[in-house]
Structure 1
Amino acid sequence: MAHLTLGIETSCDETAAAVLEDGRRIRSSVIASQDTLHAPFGGVVPELASRRHVEVIWPVVQEALARAGVTLAELDGIAATAGPGLIGSLLVGLCFGKALAFARNIPLVGVNHLEGHLYAATLDHEGLSFPFTGLVASGGHTNLYLATAPGVYRLLGRTRDDAAGEAFDKVAKLLSLGYPGGPLIEEWARKGDPNAVRFPRSVPPRGSYDFSFSGLKTAVVNYVKGVGGAVLQPSAFSLQPDLVADICAGFQEAVVDVLVRVSLAAAKASASRRLVLVGGVACNGRLRSKLTERAAEEGVQVYYPKPSLCTDNAAMIAAAGYPRLLRGERSLLSLNADANLTLGLT
C-alpha cells in the first residue's frame, strides 16, 4: 500500500505544500510565491513574508490535497520544515504542521530545509544513490556537503559572507533590475559579453572548500560607481543597456567559475565522484552548462533537478521526511523552529 506524505515548506517567502507517494512520486506540488509582494523592496521583508504565510497556508495545503486526490485521513505522515530560515516564516508552517498532526493523529517529523534541497535531486534521478557530494546554492546558503547515507552529512565548505543567490539579488538591486535578481541577471547576461568586464574570483586555498562573494559584490559596486560618476546608486537606465548586459555577464561568469571550481574539487576528492547541484541558484543555465561540461572533462557525474524542484518547494521536504517516518522517527509537538539550524558535522 502506498505511503502518502504531506510536505509543508515556509522557510522564506514561498508557501508550499506537496503530497508524495512512497517518497518518490509527486502526487501534487503547490507553491504560492511572494515575489510581487517583496519586489518593491528589492528583497524579502520578513514581517510581510510571515503575515502572507498565515493568510495562504491552509488554502495551499487544501489545494495540494485536492490535486493529489487524497484526504487528511489518508495521510501516513507530515514533514514540515523546522529550519533554517526566517524565524517568523518557519513558525507558520511548522506550527500548522504540528496542529494538523495533533488534530488528526498523524505522525510528524521536522525537516532541515538544507537536507530537503539535497533530496530534491532524488525526485528527478531514481538512480541517484548515496554517497555523493552536494552543493546547495541559494539566496541564503552556499554550502558543500558530503552525503554518505540518508541523514548522515558532513559539511565540507560554506560561504564566509554572502550566499551566491544573495549576491545575485544585491547586484540586481544595484543595477535597478528588479527582484528576484537571479533570473533577471541571467536574462541580461545572455545579451552581454562575459569577458568585457572582468571581475575577481575568490578561490579558497588548496584543501578548503569555502566560498566568498562579498569581494565580488564590492568589485561590481566600485565598477558601477566608476562608470556612473558620482552617483551612488545609479539606475540601470542611466547606464547604456549594452554595458548593463556586460556587467551582468561578467558578474555571473565570476560566480559560476567559483561554484564550478570549488564543487568539482570537492567531488573529485570523494570516492563516489558524484555531484548534486540544488538550490535556487541551480536554476541558472550558465551554471548548469559549465558544470556539466567541466564535470565531463573531470570524470564527475552531475545531477540536478528540474528548476521547479531547485527553488523552495514542499516535495523536497516530504522526500527528506519520508525515510525518517518509515524508520519510526517522530517529532514531539514541543519541537520549535530554529532559524540557524545546521546540517551535518563540520
Structure 2
Amino acid sequence: MAIEISETDLKSLIHKLSLLKSEIQKVIVGQDVIIEEILVALMAGGHCLLEGVPGLAKTLMVRTMSQALDLSFRRIQFTPDLMPTDIVGTEILEEDHTTGKRFFKFNKGPIFAHIILADEINRTPPKTQSALLEAMQEFEVTYGGQTYPLDRPFFILATQNPIEQAGTYPLPEAQLDRFLLYVKIGYPSAAEETRILSSTTGSKKEQVLPVIGAAEIRQLQTLTREVSISEDLVAYVAELIRATRPDTSTVAYVKEWVRWGAGPRAGQALILTAKARALYHGRYAVLMEDLHTMAYPVLRHRILLNFKADAEQLTTDQVTAELLKVVSRPKISI
C-alpha cells in the first residue's frame, strides 16, 4: 500500500539509517559492506544468513544492531538437543483459581520478538531448523491448530561456522531459499585489526543508543517497495535469473558447472534488495550498480554447483561474476 510522506520526513528517515550505521560502528570496526547488506535486508523485510569463522564478531554485530534499534531482541542458541517447541513455544496446563477449572495456555517461545539471533543454526537437526520456516515466510506460527501472528518488523539473523562441520546439519535447500541474503564475513584488514585490538582490550566501553523504532522501520519497508525500477531492468533481472539454470541457460559456464539454478524468488529478492540499496543511498530509482552489488548475496545460496565444480573448488560467487559479464545489459540502465 502506497503511503504519503513529505520530502523532509523521507530525508529524515534516510538520515536515521546513517545514524544507525554510526551507532553500530561504535562497537564494530570496519565491515562496512556487511553492515550495509544487513540493513538492506532489514529494509527489504527479509532475513539474513551470516557465515564466518569464529571470532569475526558475528554475534556481537547482531547484538549491537539490536541495541541501536528500539526493538525487542531474543537470542536462540542452536544445539543438537534443541526442540521445535523451544523456539515456537508450548502449551502449559494452568488452573483458574476462582473456578478450579484447568485449561491449556500457550506459552510463547523466543521466536516472538522483533529481532531473532539464530546462533549457529546448523548445529541443530533439520526438524528443529524447520520450526523457523513458517515464521520466516508467513510471519506467523501455528501451534495446536491455532495461528499466532508475529510482531512486525520481524527479522531473523542466523549465523553459521563454515569450517567446523563435525556435528552440524547443513540447512535444507528450502530453508536456505527463505533467507533473503547470504552474507559472508571475511577477515578484517591490517589497519582494522589493529583498531580492533586497541579498542577491545581496554576498559572503555562504548554505549550504543537506539536511533530508530519499529514504526519507522515498517515505514522504510513500505517505502522500499515504492522505489522505481525501469521495465528494462526488470527484464534484465529475469534474464539473469533464467541464465543460472542449466536447462534454459545459453551460458556455457553455467551448463558446465551448475546443477540447479535459482528460482523466481531469487529475482524477487534481487529487485527488492536493489530497491532497498537505492533508498539506503538516498536514491529513489534502481541503478544497474544496485543489481550487480546485490546479485552476490542474493544468488550465493540459490545456485547449486555440480560435483565437478565442487572438485575444482569453484564458488557460486564465481558463477555470478561470470553471469554479470555475459548477460547482456539493457541500453538504458536506470
The two structures have a TM-score, normalised by structure 2, of 0.23
Which gives a bigger RCO, structure 1 or 2 (Cα 8 Å, sep 6+)? Answer: 1
The two structures have a TM-score, normalised by structure 1, of 0.22
